[in-house]
Amino acid sequence: MKITIIKSKAVRIFKYIPAAAGSCLMASLLLLMPEKAAEGVRKGLDICGASVIPSLFPFMALSSFLIHSRLCLWRGRLANTVGKKLFSLPGSALSAIFMSLIGGFPVGASMTAKLLEKGEITKNQAQRMMLFCVNAGPAFIIGTVGVSMLSSITAGTVILVSLLISSITMGFFSNLISDGEYTVHDEREKELPPDFSSAFTHSVADAAASMFSVCAWVILFSCINGFTDLLSISDSGKIFIKAVLEVTTGSFAAAGQVPLPIMCLIIGFAGTCVHCQVMSCAIQTGIKPSLFVAARIMNGAIAATVCAVILNFFPISAEVMSNAVESVPQAYSASLPAAAGLLIMGGLLILELDSKRKIC
């Protein structure tokens, strides 16, 4: 009995050794090279201000608005048949799947968690959605990776198509682990009219909270990545570490240095930073972190295979490499429509709060 207790305690202690060693190493680097850490933080802030917030905030607000206003359920009733046939999911989940394909990494996971919270999908359905609803958006894949990093729209398009096929394929085969339970709340929702005013204020607040979390992780991993170049390892080793840590930095380092299928693998895996961004939503669904990470690896592997097949039929003759790639924040560049949309949403929020204050 005593031997068993000692062994269990030893196992628990060994589990904490990697985390403790990593913490000590990070603390030492921060103390010895604070300027390098500060440089990484500044780059992270630049990325958040120039790319993450302008590109993600509108989609985060829109996805939350679709949930709170029940518009996704209204559209979902039209898509119940499609959702059930393809993914064994109710139509309301189809809007989350669509937003995950166009909105960026955290959007689909956030919508999935909110649908589960409102009881529109079962826990098994939410867990299956977390396997394939974490995807890079077209703006990042074509605009940033394709145009800015690889200097080829065609290359970006091939990567996008490969990742879309991979995500949909994983969604289709997620039926294999379905528990058979299928619930739709259409009748209940018909009795509840959409509340656009309340949904709007809730969506902006939810998006702001989500963006704070996303930016915090981006800044942290940008700081960690700042020390990667100090390692005395090969260039391929540095690319591997950066790709595992953060998808944008990893893609930037790998651009032109690896074949397109490997770029698909990097983006499909998405990096530890993205995993941390969506982990709070994943935990709400009850999915095991190991299964989530395995799904990301599988997603990247499928995308890489599809990309290799596409290149066999449609080879890209142009050299997909740019040695003069601008800094990562410049690659994203804020858009005028997104900025205008944020100003309009901010104005409407001020008017909404002012009207409520007068009523009270």
For the entire predicted model, the pTM comes to 0.77
pLDDT tens digits, 52-91 = 888 788 888 888 787 777 666 655 455 677 777 788 888 7
Instruction: Report residue 303's pLDDT band, with 50, 70 and 90 as the boundaries.
Output: very high
E strand spans, 311-360:
none
Residue 330 is predicted with a pLDDT of 42
The whole-angstrom separation of Cα 284 and Cα 118 is 12
Cβ atoms < 10 Å from Cβ of 180: 8
Give the range among 24-33, 37-46, 113-122, 154-163 with minimum mean pLDDT. 24-33
Residue 331 is predicted with a pLDDT of 40
Count CA within 13 A, CB hemisphere, residue 109: 25
Q: Quick one: average pLDDT of 254-275?
A: 92
pLDDT tens digits, 90-99 = 877 888 888 8
Cβ atoms < 10 Å from Cβ of 234: 9
Residue 44 CA: distances (Å) to CA of 106, 149, 212, 327: 17, 18, 13, 12
Average pLDDT, the chain: 77
* Amino acid identity, position 62: L
SS3 69: coil
